[in-house]
């Protein structure tokens, strides 16, 4: 015999010339869950073939035509072949080989399957915490299921992914930036603006609305409530990227309220399950695996973080009080995707060492959450306690202000010891760590910018706000010196940049002429950072327009023109 595989050459050939007696094969019955799933999939396949054989062949029309604009710089994408929009059945002769083993039955409301897979890839690449809100290994296996299978991904979640990923894809058309000369930069009701312009819904807007209304219907029917939270969080990411503040607030609030109804603000695990008396009042059963435990934990904290980072810059109240949160912090991404729980102790929002100690089972995501908690405490004290003081001196000398400054400095010190953005191994870790370094500086600016006396060079609040703004610039410049793409950062970074820019503008207004050139150059850096994300992520361009408008109002047209004259872009 001629041996084909050289790796099997050490085995002696088994040459026979007579009929050998038949040896009955040993049959081993496999009742594992994985084998049962395979058998169910095979049964579905056979049933589909029977249905297909009993019907006459039909040609389904194209679901939609896709507008493909020219490629633009941005996230790397895989090659994609557009789906043909027309087909002539008379030119084709049907034979049995034309039909697949299983009918595709891809949902008509979704984009064609190749485009859908392309958008899913972009979503996991371009959104830092996409692998936290979705357990990617399970999700990719679910995509292999037949669309009629109950294990197929939740359709509203796929709609939200389409909307979010569309901002980074050249194969679909997204909502353009409105004419900011006619409409305000802080346009809260953008649907009214769209109707005034006579513009139809773009690809991302269509899928945002489909997700929104399907999530509301699923919540009313009690269907896949955890999937509703996941879809609302991803939908909120799109709304934030598109600077749709009302949509961010309403969509994320829906997610937060669903988290409360499901009890995700409470700690619940396989080792320490929730008491039955508390569970019977919730809308979800106990978790079935370590992946389920961590997915629920991640979903809650991502909804919490977006609310805290979004509302910190304004006077709006939070949906959930920190005192009502008993959920523990999540573990590492590797443990989550492997379905592993190390069994170690976890910190919660009441841990005394929350900002000073970072456990070995925590990674960049836990730092991202801790800084959201820090901003939440600063926001609450600023709105509830600091207005009780009448003068800036009383605010600066108050016990609340000293407590906040101690918290922010402790957070900065602990982050410097363990987490350096440049040393992280993934884009998501770089983004989360970078935001964690920005948050204490952002909090310092917000606490001091309104009580500072910018005309007094010795004012402590003015000096602290200016130093924090320059630290934000320093971190951004260091990150910009690497090959990291700024549009991969979490979108909340633009709010921290805007806060730093306003502190620099106020300092420039009262600075002596000898210091003015340095401050102008620093302001130009802020403006260039807001430009780097490109023209498809509207939040950066809107913030840039708002920053320029405020700068002209603060400095006057003559001084602002000196900043614009040195603009390199």
Is the separation of the CB atoms in 406 and 355 below 8 Å? no
Least confident of 112-116, 136-140, 281-285, 293-297: 281-285
- Convert the pLDDT of each residue in 295-307 to its tens digit: 999 999 999 999 9
Token output for 384:
């509830």
Q: How far apart are CA 532 and CA 31, in angstroms?
A: 55
Token output for 297:
């934990």
Percent of the chain with pLDDT over 70: 82
Q: How confident is the model at residue 57 (pLDDT cuts 50, 70, 90)?
A: very low
Q: How confident is the model at residue 144 (pLDDT cuts 50, 70, 90)?
A: very high
Q: How far apart are CA 305 and CA 506, in angstroms?
A: 29
Q: How confident is the model at residue 424 (pLDDT cuts 50, 70, 90)?
A: confident
Closest C-alpha to 492, from 313, 351, 316: 313
Closest C-alpha to 492, from 236, 193, 163, 213: 236
| Contacts of residue 383, Cβ cutoff 8 Å, sequence gap at least 6 | 315, 317
Token output for 324:
């009502």
Least confident of 3-7, 307-311, 484-488: 3-7
Q: How far apart are CA 98 and CA 400, in angstroms?
A: 73
pLDDT of residue 4: 46
Token output for 106:
């891809």
Q: What is the dihedral of CA 313, 317, 318, 319, to 10 degrees?
A: -150
Q: What is the mean pLDDT of residues 20-43?
A: 62
Q: What is the mean pLDDT of residues 323-332?
A: 96
Least confident of 96-110, 125-139, 389-403: 96-110
pLDDT of residue 49: 73
- Convert the pLDDT of each residue in 343-357 to its tens digit: 899 999 999 999 999
pLDDT of residue 355: 94
Of the two residues 268 and 417, the one the predictor is more confident about is 268
Q: How confident is the model at residue 27 (pLDDT cuts 50, 70, 90)?
A: very low
pLDDT at 126 > cutoff 60: yes
Q: What is the mean pLDDT of the chain?
A: 85
Q: How far apart are CA 132 and CA 326, in angstroms?
A: 20
Q: What is the mean pLDDT of residues 408-437?
A: 90
Kindly report the number of other CB atoms within 10 A of residue 169's CB atom.
Answer: 27
Q: What is the mean pLDDT of residues 280-308?
A: 96
pLDDT at 181 > cutoff 80: no
Q: How confident is the model at residue 45 (pLDDT cuts 50, 70, 90)?
A: confident
Q: How confident is the model at residue 43 (pLDDT cuts 50, 70, 90)?
A: confident
pLDDT of residue 81: 42
Q: What is the mean pLDDT of residues 532-541?
A: 80
What does the chain come to in residues? 569
pLDDT of residue 116: 98
pLDDT of residue 286: 94
Of the two residues 199 and 510, the one the predictor is more confident about is 510
Kindly report the number of other CB atoms within 10 A of residue 528's CB atom.
Answer: 16
Q: How confident is the model at residue 416 (pLDDT cuts 50, 70, 90)?
A: confident
Q: How confident is the model at residue 425 (pLDDT cuts 50, 70, 90)?
A: confident
pLDDT of residue 212: 97
Percent of the chain with pLDDT over 90: 65
DSSP letter, residue 272: S
Of the two residues 55 and 141, the one the predictor is more confident about is 141
pLDDT of residue 90: 46
pLDDT of residue 89: 40
Give the predicted TM-score (pTM) of the model. 0.81
pLDDT at 501 > cutoff 60: yes
pLDDT at 65 > cutoff 80: no
Q: What is the mean pLDDT of residues 7-24?
A: 52
pLDDT at 340 > cutoff 50: yes
Q: What is the dihedral of CA 373, 379, 380, 384, to 10 degrees?
A: 170
Q: What is the mean pLDDT of residues 439-445?
A: 97
Q: How confident is the model at residue 473 (pLDDT cuts 50, 70, 90)?
A: very high
Is the separation of the CB atoms in 559 and 542 below 8 Å? no
Q: How far apart are CA 503 and CA 472, in angstroms?
A: 11
- Convert the pLDDT of each residue in 371-388 to its tens digit: 999 999 999 999 999 999
Q: What is the mean pLDDT of residues 172-189?
A: 74
- Convert the pLDDT of each residue in 223-252 to its tens digit: 999 999 999 999 999 999 998 989 999 999
């Amino acid at each position: 015999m001629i041996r084909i595989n050289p790796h099997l050459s050490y085995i002696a050939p088994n040459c026979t010339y007579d009929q050998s007696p038949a040896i009955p094969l040993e049959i081993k019955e496999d009742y594992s869950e994985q084998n049962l799933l395979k058998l169910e999939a095979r049964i579905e396949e056979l049933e589909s073939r029977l249905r297909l054989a009993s019907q006459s062949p039909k040609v389904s029309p194209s679901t939609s035509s896709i507008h493909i604009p020219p490629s633009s710089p941005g996230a790397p994408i895989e090659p994609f072949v557009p789906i043909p929009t027309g087909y002539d059945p008379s030119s084709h002769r049907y034979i049995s080989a034309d039909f697949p083993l299983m009918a595709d039955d891809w949902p008509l409301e979704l984009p064609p399957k190749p485009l859908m897979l392309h958008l899913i890839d972009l979503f996991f690449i371009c959104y830092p915490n996409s692998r936290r809100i979705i357990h990617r290994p399970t999700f990719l296996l679910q995509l292999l299921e037949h669309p009629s299978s109950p294990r197929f991904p939740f359709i509203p979640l796929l709609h939200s992914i389409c909307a979010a990923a569309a901002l980074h894809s050249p194969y679909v058309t997204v909502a353009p930036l409105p004419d900011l000369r006619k409409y305000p930069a802080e346009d809260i009701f953008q649907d009214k603006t769209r109707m005034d312009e006579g513009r139809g819904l773009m690809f991302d807007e269509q899928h945002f609305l489909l997700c929104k209304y399907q999530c509301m219907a699923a919540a009313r029917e009690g269907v896949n409530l955890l999937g509703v939270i996941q879809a609302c969080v991803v939908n909120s990411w799109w709304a934030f990227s598109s600077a749709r503040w009302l949509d961010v607030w309403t969509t994320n609030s829906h997610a937060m309220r669903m988290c409360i109804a499901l009890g995700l603000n409470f700690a619940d695990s396989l080792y320490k399950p929730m008491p039955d008396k508390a569970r019977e009042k919730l809308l979800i059963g106990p978790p079935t695996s370590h992946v389920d435990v961590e997915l629920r934990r991640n979903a809650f904290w991502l909804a919490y973080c977006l609310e805290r980072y979004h509302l910190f810059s304004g006077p709006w109240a939070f949906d959930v009080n920190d005192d009502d949160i008993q959920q523990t912090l999540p573990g590492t991404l590797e443990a989550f995707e492997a379905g592993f729980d190390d069994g170690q102790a976890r910190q919660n929002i009441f841990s005394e060492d929350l900002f000073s100690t970072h456990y070995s089972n925590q990674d960049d995501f836990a730092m991202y959450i801790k800084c959201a908690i820090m901003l939440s405490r600063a926001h609450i004290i600023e709105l509830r306690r600091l207005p009780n003081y009448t003068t800036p001196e009383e605010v600066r000398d108050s016990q609340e202000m000293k407590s906040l400054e101690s918290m922010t400095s402790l957070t900065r010190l602990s982050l410097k010891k363990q987490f350096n953005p440049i040393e992280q191994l993934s884009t998501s870790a770089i983004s989360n760590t970078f935001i964690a370094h920005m948050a204490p500086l952002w909090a310092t600016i917000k606490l001091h910018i309104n009580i500072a006396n910018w005309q007094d060079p010795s004012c402590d609040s003015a000096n602290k706000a200016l130093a924090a703004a320059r630290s934000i610039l320093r971190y951004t410049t260091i990150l910009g010196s690497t090959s990291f793409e700024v549009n991969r950062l979490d979108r909340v970074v633009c709010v921290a940049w805007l806060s730093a820019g306003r502190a620099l503008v106020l300092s420039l207004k009262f600075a002596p002429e000898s210091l003015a050139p340095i401050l102008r150059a620093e302001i130009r850096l802020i403006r260039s950072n807001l430009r780097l994300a490109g023209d498809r992520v509207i939040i950066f361009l809107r913030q840039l327009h708002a920053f320029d408008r405020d700068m002209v109002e603060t400095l006057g047209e003559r001084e602002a023109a000196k900043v614009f004259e040195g603009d390199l872009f």
